[in-house]
Amino acid sequence: MRVIGVDPGSRVCGYAVVESSGNDLRYIKSGTIIPPVDNSLPKRLDFIYSGILKVIEEFSPTCMSIEDIFFAKNAKSAIKLGQARGVAILAAASKELSVNEYAPTKIKLALTGKGRANKAEVQKMLTLLLGVDEFQNTDESDAVAIAICHINFSRFESMIGIAPKTNKRRNKRFTLNDISS
């Protein structure tokens, strides 16, 4: 399986291509797509779309893994992030790739075993798994992590036959069910 991982952004979009064969992971390529800052948003989105298409055409991944939407404090930034995700997903769809979306905590969990791992822990695990010492920036390393996340969850699903369940945070309010009789 060859996966393209995408860490979307309207200013910097990270991508990575990782391949798995059995239990082995092989780092193929990673980088960033950085549209000119003076371009309008539609032109930046077109630049990202074209960049993702070039990566797909050059490395022929079998599927795409992308970071899922998360709630940001700034609604305007969240909308732009959603638009960048949309053009990356459109690029995959135009090449008939399946798209798999993962929440940031699920990505960290699949890599480090902790859903709240910090960037340094993720980078250290990437170095251990792939032997790649440094990445240009966190957008690039996040894209590698996103690709590996899909590979790890796919392995689990193929071994067990079902996707792994992750615990959702439980609201800590007490109810009558919490009181023993």
Q: Evaluate whether residue 71 is within a structural domain.
A: yes
**The domain containing residue 126 runs over which residues?**
2-166
Distance, in Å, from the CA atom of 37 to the CA atom of 49, rounded to the nearest integer, reads 16
Position 163 pLDDT exceeds 80: no
Whether residue 176 lies inside any domain: the answer is no
Q: pLDDT (tens digit, 9 = 90+) per residue, 86-128?
A: 999 999 999 999 999 999 989 998 888 888 888 888 888 998 9
Active site residues: 7, 67, 139
51 domain-assigned: yes
- Which CATH number covers residue 143? 3.30.420.10
Q: 7, 17, 102: which is closest to 48 by C-alpha?
A: 7
Asked whether residue 181 is assigned to any structural domain, the reply reads no
DSSP 8-state secondary structure symbol assigned to residue 115 = T
At 12-63, the pLDDT tens digits run: 999 999 999 988 999 999 999 999 999 999 999 999 999 999 999 999 999 9
Q: Does residue 130 belong to any structural domain of this protein? A: yes
Asked if residue 36 is part of any domain, the answer here is yes
Tokens found for residue 124? 């250290």
Phi-psi region of 62 (alpha: psi -120 to 50; beta: other; left: phi over 0): alpha
